[in-house]
């Protein structure tokens, strides 16, 4: 290289320009030449260099520009690809290079005539000397993730130098099928050839994306079925698929089959081995059919495919906030779709169908998943439905319980299914709930060794007014290791009429657990004062007689009040009158609290009790406010704010527990001739 440089310089200085050929100089470079022998200039050759005859020669072409900085060919390719792209854009769109390149080379702003639209998109530009058809490019997985999260949509553009063709694809639509989730980069196909409509299509994508973000969706939504190829290479099968898809769409008023001039629309694109369901401005969903053949059961294949397309449409219509349309598509899909059984779709689909207008579809999906599905599907479906049971009506809960009882697979999970069915109906049909519990224990006798079995039996007995049996079952649950059941045992004894034993068990329960529910401590305090005031009550509660006597008690008739409470120490009017007649402030507060616990649905009684507690037993105010909130409900705040006798301290205490109530379960207890809601503090009882 040093020889080339020195000779080039000497020749250019030695000869006038007229003697030098206009073509590039040729140099004969010597190799293996004896250093003592000098090269000779042959003037007639004007610019050629020769070695002495007989010397071995190695000849190559050299240019004067070899020693100047060279422009890499890749730079030419990049410049030419940008030029090819810009030439195809509308003349009034602006293109600027991106200063910091995170997978975006250019920023393009869309103009409408001479007016800015506020619409922009990024461009990742690729130039290729000769592309496949369609071209494939390598993109980093992190870059694709970045594009999906970016507020500005990105278009991938590929220019093929050999054909001067441009291909493009929206970055968020690149299909990740069969791509390794751990690979750092993927080879992807950029399949749309640029034509006269491409700029308008990109503009529509960006406009649709903006409309989606703003929630501006016009009805009806246009859905276009586009056949690029015959599905599975079979024209008749493809025709039948198109007909069934139209049948899926036509019944809905929110849908128009065909293109409308609206910003947001949905395309169902049928190809030989894939069906793409895409909404403008959205990544969309691609169904792949690599493992099926037109030789398969055609009826089943079509039914499953249409159902899977319906699931895809449900996902897209959810993004449009068209929830009735979403539930329609899910309802269509529940019988045949395989996609809907996927663990990412199953739970959400059941949740969305847990409504009266979609209940039949939910039953079908529950049957496929919870009764006949895989263990994972069973667990997921059961968890979702049991969590939604309170949102279903009584007849719907019973229908589910009957379905479980009659159609659940008789396997190791059958006893669990029966147990769940019992939980569904225990608030509506206690006889059926008890029968289902017993059947679960017959299938799996180990249930009788579980505290939960006996606590569930106890709760059913309590609701039926069989307090003696309830107390015995709660005690069995306690003896099987669940200390929380002792307070329920004490509560059942209280309603049974065994006041002394009940208070003893409440005290024991309080000593066993520092995290006992405030209801138990308040009952211990309040009914201890009742016990001290009225002496030993009768052996059995007689609520009807107590209420009849309470109506006739005259003001100040202390003896009549005590006689009434001997018949039933839960007689709320008698407790209220007794409390008012007591001079001792703390005892009056406790008796007022006992009246509220005996009549839990009466917000006025609770407010009077809270006022007494705030004035004379402020250390109990937080617990009492918690019980008031959960027995009366949030309406007590309105009553508290309007009440003349309720202090700000009481209102503040109520509001302080408003957002953090502990779980309670409503139990209906007969008190006289009227049913009252008693809150017992056990989740799931």
| CATH number of the domain where residue 150 is located | 3.40.1350.10
Examine the domain organization and report whether 182 and 89 are in the same domain.
yes
Higher per-residue pLDDT: 191 or 230: 230
- 657 band by pLDDT with thresholds 50, 70 and 90: low
Cross-strand bridge partners of residue 256: 222
Examine the domain organization and report whether 521 and 667 are in the same domain.
yes
- Condensed to tens digits (0 to 9), the pLDDT of residues 127-170 reads 888 878 889 999 998 988 888 888 889 999 999 989 999 999 99
Please report which helix (H) or strand (E) contains residue 76, including its range. Answer: helix 73-88
Burial (CB count within 10 angstroms: exposed 0-12, middle 13-18, buried 19+), residue 156: buried
pLDDT on residue 68: 63
Are the C-beta atoms of 643 and 607 separated by less than 8 Å?
yes
Are the C-beta atoms of 495 and 488 separated by less than 8 Å?
no
Residue 468: inside a domain: no
Are the C-beta atoms of 653 and 606 separated by less than 8 Å?
no
Examine the domain organization and report whether 223 and 292 are in the same domain.
yes
* Domain that residue 401 falls in: 357-449
pLDDT on residue 61: 47
Residue 323 tokens read as: 């929830």
What does pLDDT average to over the chain?
82
pLDDT on residue 218: 86
Residue 499: inside a domain: no
Exposure pattern of 370-388 as b/e (b: 16+ CB <10 Å)? bbebeeebbbbbbebbeee
Residue 598 tokens read as: 């005996």
Answer whether 0.85 is exceeded by the pTM.
no
Q: Based on C-alpha coordinates, what's the Rg of the chain?
A: 42
Residue 620: inside a domain: yes
Residue 50 has pLDDT above 60, yes or no: no
Last residue of a domain, one of 401, 424, 449: 449
Last residue of a domain, one of 398, 432, 449: 449
CA distances from 362 to 87, 249, 327, 394 (A): 55, 21, 10, 16
Full 3-state SS string of 495-552: HHCCHHHHHHHHHHHHHHCCCCCHHHHHHHHHHHHHHHHHCCCCCCCCHHHHHHHHHC
Bond prior to 220 in cis (omega within 30° of 0) = yes
Examine the domain organization and report whether 669 and 521 are in the same domain.
yes
Contacts of 156 (CB under 8 A, 6+ apart): 123, 124, 126, 137, 139, 168, 169, 170, 171, 174, 190
pLDDT on residue 30: 33
Residue 427: inside a domain: yes
- 101 band by pLDDT with thresholds 50, 70 and 90: low
Query: Phi and psi for 115 in degrees, rounded to 5?
Result: -105, 140
Examine the domain organization and report whether 94 and 159 are in the same domain.
yes
pLDDT on residue 72: 64
Residue 507: inside a domain: no
pLDDT on residue 274: 92
For 303, what's the count of Cα atoms within 13 Å in the CB-facing half-sphere? Answer: 8
Residue 190 has pLDDT above 70, yes or no: yes
**Number of structural domains found in the chain:** 5
Residue 116 tokens read as: 């800015």
Residue 20 has pLDDT above 50, yes or no: no
Residue 497: inside a domain: no
Examine the domain organization and report whether 598 and 552 are in the same domain.
yes
pLDDT on residue 211: 85
β pairing state of 136-140 and 94-97: unpaired
Region of poorest pLDDT, from 1-15, 227-241, 265-279, 339-353: 1-15
430-438: average pLDDT: 94
pLDDT on residue 375: 84
Examine the domain organization and report whether 534 and 665 are in the same domain.
yes
- 662 band by pLDDT with thresholds 50, 70 and 90: very low
Examine the domain organization and report whether 336 and 361 are in the same domain.
no
Count of CB atoms situated within 10 Å of the CB of 439: 18
Residue 508: inside a domain: no
Residue 684: which region, alpha, beta or left (left: phi > 0; alpha: psi -120 to 50)? left
Residue 551 has pLDDT above 90, yes or no: no
Query: Phi and psi for 347 in degrees, rounded to 5?
Result: -60, -45
Residue 557 tokens read as: 């008739």
Largest separation between any pair of C-alpha atoms in the chain: 148
Examine the domain organization and report whether 44 and 92 are in the same domain.
no
β pairing state of 154-160 and 115-128: parallel
Closest CA to 224 of 277, 173, 169, 175: 277
Residue 87 tokens read as: 């030439």
N-to-C CA span, the chain:
94
Measured between alpha carbons, how far is 100 from 115 in angstroms, rounded to an integer?
Answer: 27
Measured between alpha carbons, how far is 593 from 496 in angstroms, rounded to an integer?
Answer: 20
The number of angstroms, rounded, from the C-alpha of 675 to the middle of its chain's C-alpha atoms is 40
Are the C-beta atoms of 267 and 224 separated by less than 8 Å?
yes
Residue 284 tokens read as: 């969309």
Residue 180 has pLDDT above 50, yes or no: yes
- 71 band by pLDDT with thresholds 50, 70 and 90: low
Examine the domain organization and report whether 318 and 230 are in the same domain.
yes
Residue 447 tokens read as: 């249930």
Residue 304 has pLDDT above 50, yes or no: yes
β pairing state of 165-170 and 49-50: unpaired
Residue 617: inside a domain: yes
293-305: average pLDDT: 93
- 86 band by pLDDT with thresholds 50, 70 and 90: very high
pLDDT on residue 236: 95
Residue 39 has pLDDT above 60, yes or no: no
Region of poorest pLDDT, from 45-49, 260-264, 529-533, 567-571: 45-49
Contacts of 671 (CB under 8 A, 6+ apart): 543, 547, 568, 570, 571, 572, 598, 599
Examine the domain organization and report whether 525 and 662 are in the same domain.
yes
Are the C-beta atoms of 158 and 135 separated by less than 8 Å?
yes
Examine the domain organization and report whether 180 and 282 are in the same domain.
no
CA distances from 76 to 122, 385, 500 (A): 21, 62, 98
Last residue of a domain, one of 49, 67, 85: 67
């Amino acid at each position: 290289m040093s020889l080339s440089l020195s000779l080039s310089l000497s020749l250019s200085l030695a000869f006038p320009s007229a003697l030098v050929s206009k073509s590039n100089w040729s140099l004969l470079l010597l190799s293996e030449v004896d250093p003592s022998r000098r090269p000779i200039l042959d003037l007639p050759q004007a610019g050629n260099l020769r070695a002495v005859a007989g010397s071995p020669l190695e000849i190559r072409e050299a240019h004067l520009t070899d020693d100047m900085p060279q422009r890499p060919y890749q730079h030419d390719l990049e410049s030419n690809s940008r030029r090819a792209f810009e030439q195809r854009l509308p003349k009034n769109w602006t293109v600027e290079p991106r200063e910091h390149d995170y997978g975006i080379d250019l920023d393009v702003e869309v103009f409408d005539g001479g007016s800015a639209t506020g619409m922009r998109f990024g461009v990742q530009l690729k130039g290729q000397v000769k592309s496949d058809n369609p071209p494939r490019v390598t993109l980093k997985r992190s870059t694709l993730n970045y594009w999906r999260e970016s507020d500005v949509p990105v278009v991938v553009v590929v220019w093929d130098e050999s054909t001067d063709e441009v291909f493009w694809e929206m970055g968020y639509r690149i299909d990740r099928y069969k791509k390794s989730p751990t690979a750092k980069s993927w080879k992807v196909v950029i399949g749309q050839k640029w034509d006269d409509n491409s700029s308008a299509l990109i503009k529509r994508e960006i406009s649709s994306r903006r409309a989606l973000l703003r929630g501006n969706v016009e009805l009806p939504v246009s859905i276009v079925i586009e056949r690029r190829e015959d599905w599975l290479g079979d024209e008749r099968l493809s025709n039948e698929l198109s007909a069934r898809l139209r049948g899926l769409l036509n019944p809905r008023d929110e849908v128009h089959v065909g293109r409308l001039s609206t910003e947001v629309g949905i395309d169902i694109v049928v190809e030989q081995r894939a069906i793409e369901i895409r909404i403008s401005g959205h990544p969309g969903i691609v169904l792949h059919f690599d493992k099926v053949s037109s030789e398969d059961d055609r009826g089943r294949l079509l039914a499953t495919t249409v159902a899977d397309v319906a699931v895809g449409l449900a996902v897209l219509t959810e993004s449009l906030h068209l929830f009735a349309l979403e539930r329609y598509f899910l309802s269509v899909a529940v019988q045949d779709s395989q996609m809907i059984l996927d663990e990412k779709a199953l739970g959400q689909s059941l949740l969305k169908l847990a409504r009266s207008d979609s209940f039949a579809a939910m039953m079908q999906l529950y049957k496929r998943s919870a009764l006949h599905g895989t263990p994972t599907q069973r667990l997921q479906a059961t968890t979702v439905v049991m969590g939604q049971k309170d949102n279903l009506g009584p007849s719907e809960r019973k229908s589910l319980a009957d379905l479980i009882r009659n159609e659940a697979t008789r396997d190791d999970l059958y006893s669990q299914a029966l147990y769940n069915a019992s939980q569904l109906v225990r608030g509506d049909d206690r006889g059926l709930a008890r029968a289902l519990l017993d059947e679960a224990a017959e299938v799996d006798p180990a249930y009788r060794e579980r505290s939960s079995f006996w606590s569930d039996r106890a709760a059913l007995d309590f609701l039926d007014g069989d307090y003696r049996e309830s107390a015995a079952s709660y005690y069995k649950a306690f003896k099987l290791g669940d200390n929380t059941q002792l307070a329920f045992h004490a509560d059942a004894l209280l309603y049974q009429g065994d006041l002394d034993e009940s208070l003893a068990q409440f005290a024991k329960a309080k000593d066993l657990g520092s995290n006992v529910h405030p209801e138990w401590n308040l009952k211990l305090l309040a009914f201890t004062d009742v016990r001290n005031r009225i002496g030993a009550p009768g052996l059995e509660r007689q609520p009807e007689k107590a209420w009849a006597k309470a109506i006739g008690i005259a003001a100040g008739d202390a003896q009549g009040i005590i006689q009434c409470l001997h018949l039933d120490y839960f007689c709320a009017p008698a407790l209220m009158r007794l409390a008012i007649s007591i001079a001792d402030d703390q005892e009056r507060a406790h008796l007022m609290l006992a009246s509220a616990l005996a009549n839990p649905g009466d917000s006025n009684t609770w407010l009077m009790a809270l006022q007494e507690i705030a004035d004379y037993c402020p250390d109990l105010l937080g617990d009492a406010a918690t019980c008031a909130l959960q027995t009366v409900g949030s309406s007590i705040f309105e009553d508290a704010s309007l009440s003349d006798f309720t202090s700000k301290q009481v209102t503040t205490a109520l509001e302080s527990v408003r957002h953090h109530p502990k779980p309670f379960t409503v139990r209906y207890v007969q008190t006289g001739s009227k049913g009252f809601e008693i809150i017992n503090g056990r989740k799931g009882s």
